[in-house]
Amino acid sequence: MKTIIVCDAIHPVGFELLKKEQDINVIDAVNTPKDELLKILGEADVAITRSSTEVNEAFLNAGKKLKAIVRAGVGVDNVDIEGCSRRGIIAMNVPTANTIAAVELTMAHMLASARSLEYAHNDLKLDRIWKREKWYGVELFKKKLGVIGFGNIGSRVAVRAKAFGMEIIAYDPYIDPSKVIDMGGTYTKNFDDILACDFITIHTPKTKETTNMIGAKEIAKMKDGVRLINCARGGLYNEEALYEGLKSGKIAFAGIDVFTREPATDHPLLDLNNVSVTPHLGANTLESQRNIAVEAVEQAILAARGISYPNALNLPIKTEDLPPFVEPYIDLTSKMAFLAAQINKSVIKAIRIETHGQISEYANSMLTFAIVGALKESLGDAINYVNAKFLCDEKGIVTETSLGGDSIFKNKITVRLTTENGIVTVGGTVFGENQQRIVTINGFKTDFKPKGKMIIFKNHDVPGVIAQISKILADEKINIADFRLGRDDHNMALAVILVDEHIKAETLERLNALEACVWAQYAVI
């Protein structure tokens, strides 16, 4: 039994998901004073935190059993990542759950900056002044929008701005230019092209490289009457330079949701009448709070079970140095290996990953994650990303990578485990930015998300098998969430049956007893 402690408030759906897991014990410490929290942290394997909890030295020293920390949100300014690394604790965040909320707030500030909406509103509602000629704005139509950072949020802002008829100029040295070009925008490596735009919006993480990315020098190069938006992180625009630019009129208007120091109740920007401000509301929608809770809990459960560590910030491989398309394959590889070990529960002799496509350049990095996933079932907490290859050498387990054959997929990874009972292979790919799919098991085609409770059932391809499986599960009051069936040319079939309830050993025995059954296994990812 693993223990997850929830240190700060999350959407109720998060607790509902945690309580459904039979192998997870939950500590609700949402209302526990922070000094008292330190006294109970020692019981937890994984902690879920938000901005109210400082993950500092005292926190980490108290969490003697901690294997992972999930920051339920994007920002990790309050997490001592280096301290986590020294103690072997994996730190994770939830970077995409509030994507749409941040995108839509950016568009709201962009529209406000074009039409001075708040000030016109206050004139009429608070001061009861009807003076239309005072509030001439500008249109978004045919204006150039400079997008700094073209990831999950920046790219979606661009799509919406394009619907307004804006011309998109994107600057992001870490993406494939085709991502911009394919949506009808212009990709540039020249930052001056951004500074020449009518509107500029920034969507980068806060790093040494991006802090004060826009300062007095950059503002001086901008066109007169430029409009700036920041719904990303405080300090990406130098706030003193921003203030001077707004005060002088060089910057016509700014839309700001984030500040270097928060709460910013006495910030100089609040004294200006050409800035729209919000108190860091980027993630503040009902939908995004629910999404954050769901994703944080799902990541915490995976970490507690040692299956994988989605969105980890301190893995032995520097994910920030990898192309964006690679990171989802790290998580997928670990999950596929964990599934393979559950399908073929026997002593592992060899772990091999076969790669196809550009992902092959990163095969050696992926191998470590395959090892941890494959051996987690048998070694539990004894295996980690630091000692993975050493343990394989010690146990005589062969580890290797190889190039796979032709594939219909642009990129594909197959995990191949050789055990005393034979060989099992699980292949997968990623669609879009992070739509992970398992697409083959032992050569049988399939297509499902690597998530949840599932029965893997191999059988002779004869009539009536699906009906027999359904009857057994119905008898046990087990709901089928999804049913994926693959067939081969040798009159064999393999089904992946996703279920809502835990499968008991007796139920699995009944399935294995069916005449057409070759084998049936139960797995949880």
Instruction: Give the integer Cα–Cα distance in Å for 65 and 118.
Output: 50
pLDDT band at 102 (very low <50, low <70, confident <90, very high): very high
Instruction: Give the integer Cα–Cα distance in Å for 83 and 311.
Output: 18
Instruction: Give the integer Cα–Cα distance in Å for 362 and 209.
Output: 25
Taking a C-beta distance cutoff of 8 angstroms, is the pair 43, 24 a contact?
A: no
Residues 359 and 434 grouped into a single domain:
yes
Instruction: Give the integer Cα–Cα distance in Å for 168 and 373.
Output: 42
Residues 33 and 149 grouped into a single domain:
no
- Please name which of 365, 113, 54 lies closest in space to residue 231, comparing C-alpha atoms: 113
Residues 432 and 466 grouped into a single domain:
no
Residues 143 and 252 grouped into a single domain:
yes
> Does residue 67 lie within any of the structural domains?
yes
| Total count of domains within the chain | 4
DSSP, res 133: G
Q: Is 145 left (phi over 0), alpha (psi -120 to 50) or beta?
A: beta
For the chain, give the number of residues: 525
- Asked if residue 385 has pLDDT above 80, the reply is no
Domain end point (choices 442, 476, 492):
442
**pLDDT (tens digit per residue) in 294-304:** 999 999 999 99
Lowest-pLDDT choice from 85-89, 221-225, 278-282: 85-89
Lowest-pLDDT choice from 91-100, 177-186, 231-240: 91-100
The pLDDT score that the predictor gives to residue 388 is 81
Taking a C-beta distance cutoff of 8 angstroms, is the pair 213, 233 a contact?
A: no
> Does residue 491 lie within any of the structural domains?
yes
pLDDT band at 82 (very low <50, low <70, confident <90, very high): confident
pLDDT band at 320 (very low <50, low <70, confident <90, very high): low
> Does residue 236 lie within any of the structural domains?
yes
Active-site amino acid positions: 233, 262, 280
The pLDDT score that the predictor gives to residue 10 is 95
Instruction: Give the integer Cα–Cα distance in Å for 6 and 297.
Output: 9
Residue 263: cis peptide before it, omega within 30 degrees of 0: yes
Instruction: Give the neighbor-by-neighbor strand order of the sheet with 186-187.
Output: 186-187, 167-171, 144-148, 199-202, 226-230, 251-256, 275-277
Residues 341 and 415 grouped into a single domain:
yes
Query: Strand 480-487 vs strand 492-499: parallel, antiparallel, or unpaired?
Result: antiparallel
Instruction: Give the integer Cα–Cα distance in Å for 248 and 242.
Output: 10
Instruction: Give the integer Cα–Cα distance in Å for 311 and 330.
Output: 10
- The token pair at 91 is 């730190």
Residues 84 and 123 grouped into a single domain:
no
The pLDDT score that the predictor gives to residue 386 is 67
Average the pLDDT over 425-436 and give the result.
92
Instruction: Give the integer Cα–Cα distance in Å for 459 and 52.
Output: 52
CATH value at residue 387: 3.30.1330.90
The CA distances from residue 55 to 37, 42, 78, in Å, are 12, 14, 6
Residues 295 and 330 grouped into a single domain:
no
For 248, phi then psi, to 5°, come to -80, -20
Residues 339 and 405 grouped into a single domain:
yes
For 405, phi then psi, to 5°, come to -80, -165
The residues, ordered by sequence, that sit 6+ positions from 142 with a Cβ below 8 Å of its Cβ are 165, 166, 167
The pLDDT score that the predictor gives to residue 334 is 93
> Does residue 321 lie within any of the structural domains?
no
Average the pLDDT over 462-480 and give the result.
96
Instruction: Give the integer Cα–Cα distance in Å for 277 and 353.
Output: 50
Taking a C-beta distance cutoff of 8 angstroms, is the pair 299, 276 a contact?
A: no
- Asked if residue 271 has pLDDT above 80, the reply is yes
pLDDT band at 321 (very low <50, low <70, confident <90, very high): low
> Does residue 312 lie within any of the structural domains?
no
- Asked if residue 206 has pLDDT above 70, the reply is yes
The pLDDT score that the predictor gives to residue 283 is 85
Average the pLDDT over 114-141 and give the result.
95
* Stronger pLDDT, 137 or 317, i.e. the higher one: 137
Instruction: Give the integer Cα–Cα distance in Å for 99 and 82.
Output: 27
Residues 66 and 91 grouped into a single domain:
yes
pLDDT band at 378 (very low <50, low <70, confident <90, very high): confident
For 268, phi then psi, to 5°, come to -55, -30
Residues 166 and 264 grouped into a single domain:
yes
CATH value at residue 29: 3.40.50.720
The pLDDT score that the predictor gives to residue 341 is 93
The pLDDT score that the predictor gives to residue 393 is 87
- Asked if residue 516 has pLDDT above 90, the reply is yes
- The token pair at 263 is 């709460």
What average pLDDT does the structure give for the chain?
93
Give the number of other Cβ atoms within 10 Å of residue 352's Cβ.
Answer: 18
Instruction: Give the integer Cα–Cα distance in Å for 29 and 40.
Output: 9
**pLDDT (tens digit per residue) in 475-489:** 999 999 999 999 999
Residues 435 and 462 grouped into a single domain:
no
Residues 153 and 247 grouped into a single domain:
yes
The pLDDT score that the predictor gives to residue 161 is 98
> Does residue 490 lie within any of the structural domains?
yes
> Does residue 195 lie within any of the structural domains?
yes
The pLDDT score that the predictor gives to residue 68 is 94
Instruction: Give the integer Cα–Cα distance in Å for 231 and 279.
Output: 10
> Does residue 311 lie within any of the structural domains?
no
- Please name which of 1, 5, 91, 90 lies closest in space to residue 44, comparing C-alpha atoms: 5
End-to-end CA distance of the chain: 16
Considering the entire predicted model, what is its pTM? 0.68
The CA distances from residue 183 to 143, 167, 196, 326, 406, in Å, are 17, 11, 21, 21, 29
CA atoms within 13 A of residue 118's CA, in its CB half-sphere: 16
The pLDDT score that the predictor gives to residue 197 is 98
The pLDDT score that the predictor gives to residue 318 is 64
The pLDDT score that the predictor gives to residue 238 is 98
Structural domain harbouring 20: 1-95+285-303
Domain end point (choices 407, 425, 442):
442
Identity of the amino acid at 395:
K
Taking a C-beta distance cutoff of 8 angstroms, is the pair 413, 354 a contact?
A: yes
Q: What percent of the chain has pLDDT over 90?
A: 79
The CA distances from residue 263 to 281, 451, 513, 519, in Å, are 12, 39, 64, 59
Taking a C-beta distance cutoff of 8 angstroms, is the pair 282, 258 a contact?
A: yes
- The token pair at 165 is 């008829």
Domain end point (choices 384, 410, 442):
442
